[in-house]
Amino acid sequence: MTMFSYSPSKVAVSACLAALVILCFRSNVVSAQKHTAFFIFGDSSVDPGNNNYIDTIPENRANVKPYGQNGFFKDPTGRFSDGRIIVDFIAEYAKLPLIPPFLEPSADYSHGVNFASGGAGILSTTNEGQAIDLRTQLNYFEEVEKWLAEKLGASEAEEDARLHHPEQYVGMVLGNLTIAIQELYEKGARNFGFLSLCPLGCLPVMRALNPKAGEGGCFEQANSLALAHNNALKTLLNNLHYLLKDFKYCNSDFYNWLQDRINNPSHYGLKEGVNACCGSRPYGGVYTCGGTKKVATYELCDNADDYVWWDSFHPTEKIHEQFAKALWDGPQASVGPHNLQDLFFDHEIKLTIGDVVDIITENEEIV
């Protein structure tokens, strides 16, 4: 499959996918000392290597060089990055070890597990048979519950685990996401983190697909879909906050956060916001990085730290780190109503008058 066989809607589904989620749980270990376990559900943006263990297409794998080239890991791990990804940094901030992929042989799930899979979707029809969809990831979570019950004892484990029209498509995605949240809430999950959609139309792959590619612009149809999804997600989470008594969450404004870095890279210690470090022209948007796809040749930049985009779909480790920091201790107005530090360590929310005004204004805009 060549890059240009993708339709814009399929690319939009596959990239920065539909708020597949970071989940945080509080747990008690055998010593009765409280600690945090971190469970991750998602797509290639947070896949630590699960796709290394499934039968899939080369486009859904990142276990070859130059992936992981910056030296943090000895060899490519399956992360779609030049190094670490956002959940690695969040685990570090939470004083946890790296969270293992669920399918890694002999993985220890005591501190959590990562179920994410490159190419996965909230809808089971996304890359069907080539990725681990959300429903399967939820089924895997049930297996982890059983593992924890055997390792920690039943009481501790129970406490640990407490193509369509755009509007129609967003509705289906959010409907499936609601079901997933409610299922996990019923199992004891209380603290959730969500990655909203980035400006999909500004991905290098989408610029390459843009009918006005010669002008270098973003694909506005894809950006509109991302904004529609993000606005619907805000409304959904606000409603769940009232419906589910102990539901707490962090929701990011990834769209504007990343767009600012794309448009103004020099403000953030970067040099290039449009072109990918690894891929083929135009914009590095032809997905050839690693040389394992149908086109075996690709271009590679000298320094990935200068770039927003690592490959045609995914950001560099530097962007992952910057965004992890924003989610970890950013203000409630931008990642609220809680940041991840609040959720991991049960910090009280202390809103200023400015925060309240920002939240009220934001809700009025959604309505």
Catalytic residue selected from 14, 27, 44, 196: 44
Q: DSSP code of 97?
A: P
Catalytic residue selected from 43, 82, 133, 311: 311
Tell me the three state secondary structure of residue 276: strand
Q: Is 44 a catalytic residue?
A: yes
Tell me the three state secondary structure of residue 357: helix
Catalytic residue selected from 27, 111, 252, 314: 314
Q: Are 86 and 13 in contact (CB under 8 A)?
A: no
Q: Are 291 and 297 in contact (CB under 8 A)?
A: yes
**DSSP labels for 191-220?**
EEEE-PPP-GGGSHHHHHH-TTGGGT---H
C-alpha count within 13 angstroms, C-beta hemisphere, residue 16: 33
C-alpha count within 13 angstroms, C-beta hemisphere, residue 319: 31
Cross-strand partners of 350? none
Query: Which residues, other chains included, contact 284 with Cβ-Cβ below 8 Å and sequence gap of 6+?
Result: 204, 275, 276, 277, 278, 299, 309, 311, 312
How far apart are alpha carbons 258 and 260 in whole angstroms? 5
What residues are annotated to the active site?
44, 311, 314
